[in-house]
Amino acid sequence: MIYLDNSATTKPYPEALETFNIVSNQFFANPSSIHGLGGLSEEMLKRSRTQAAELLGVKPSEITFTSGGTEGNNLAIKGVALSYSQRGKHIITTEIEHAATYNAFKQLENAGFEVTYLPVNHKGRVNLEDLKKACRKDTILISIIHVNNEVGTVQPLQEIGEWLKEQRATLFHVDHVQGIGKVPLNLKEYGIDLCTISGHKFHGPKGTGLLFVRGGVSLSPLFSGGSQELNRRAGTENLPGIAAMVKALRINLETSKRHLDDLKCLKNKMIRSFETNDDLIIHTPAEFSAPHIINVTIKGIKAEVLVHALEEDDIYVSTKSACSSREGGASRVLLAMGIPEDEAAHAIRISLSLENTSDEIDRFLDIFNKKINELKSVMG
C-alpha cells in the first residue's frame, strides 16, 4: 500500500496506540473523582498538559484539550465572538479556510456578526494590505489558516502577527492543523492568541486535539457542564486519547527535525515529474507552500475516476478536503484562487507524511503515469 492521503488523516504511531492502551487500562478513573484512582488520572492529565505545553513552547494553563480541529476552531471562533461581542461584532477570515472555520463564520453571520472574507491571489495567499484595510475599531477577531488543507499554501503569519501586535483590541486565531510538524510556527513570536491542532494529522488517534489559548484571553464555552479544561470545555476528558496524542506530537516533532528535508525532496521529485507532463496542471504554488501537499488537475480525466483507478493498485490519494470530498462541484478553495471551474472540478490532492519513502514515490509516479495513459486511451 502507498498511502498519500495524509492531509485527510495519518496512520497512528504504534507507540501512540500503546500509550492509549496503557492509559486506558491503568488510568481509567475519572480525573475529576476525589478518590485515589481519580487522583492518579488527574496527575496523568496534568503531566500530558505540561508535556504538550513544553513541546509548543507555551504555559500548561494555555492548553485546552479538545476532540480535534473542528471543535478547536469552533471553540476559538465562537468562544471569542460570544465573549467579546460587547466590544464589537466584526470578524475577519479568508475565502480559503477549512470548512470547520468557514461554516463557523457563516453561522456567526446568521447570529448578527459581520464577517469580512479576505480574497487570495492565484497562489492562495492573502495580502497584508487587504487585511489592514479590512481591520476596524470593532474588529474583535482575525482567523487565518496557516497551511491550506487543499493546495498547501502557507500564509504570511509572521508579518500578520507583527502588525496585529499593534492592534490590541483584535485577537489572532490560527488553524495550524495542516502545519503542525511540517511548517514551524512560533506562537509567541508571531503574536498568536489562539491556535488549533488536531491529533490525527500527526499520527495520533482520531477524536483528539488541543487549542492554545493565550493567557488573558477570554472564551465563552460551547458546552454547558462541568469545570473541566480550565472552565473552557466541559465534559470528562478523553485521557487515553490525550496521552496518546501528546506522545504522537513528541515523536512527530522529533522526526520532523531529522527528516523534514527528506519530505521536501519527495515533494520536489513529484513536482519535477508532473512538470514534464503537458496533461497536468499544478495548482500548488512553487513558493509559499508546505512540503507535503500537491494539488493537480489532469486534463480530461475526472478526479474521482483517477482516485479509484489508483486504488486498484493500492495507492490512495483524494479529491479536495476529506470533509468536502463527498460534496459535488468544484473546490471552493481553487475557485477562490481564480482557477477555472472545469480545472478545479478535476483536481486531486496528493499529501505526504514523514513516513513516506523515495521508493514509494518512484512506484507511485510510475503507476500514476500509466493510469493516466490508460484512462486517456479509454476516454478518447
Q: Which residues are catalytic?
A: 323
Exposure b/e, 316-349, CB count within 10 A at least 16 = b: bbbbbbbebbeeeebbbbbbbbebeeebbbbbbb
State the CB neighbour count (10 A cutoff) for residue 56: 22
Q: Which of 371, 356, 149, 363 is nearest to 277 (CA)?
A: 371
Question: How far is 175 from 74, CA to CA, in rounded Å?
Answer: 11
Question: How far is 349 from 347, CA to CA, in rounded Å?
Answer: 7
CA torsion through residues 380, 376, 310, 263, sign: negative
Q: State in Å, rounded, how far the first CA of the chain is from the last one.
A: 30
Cβ 296 vs Cβ 282: under 8 Å:
yes
Is 24 in a helix, a strand, or coil?
Answer: helix
With 0-12 / 13-18 / 19 or more C-beta atoms within 10 angstroms meaning exposed / middle / buried, residue 124 is: buried
Question: How far is 368 from 257, CA to CA, in rounded Å?
Answer: 30
Cβ 89 vs Cβ 227: under 8 Å:
no
Placement of cell 480530461 in the chain: 300
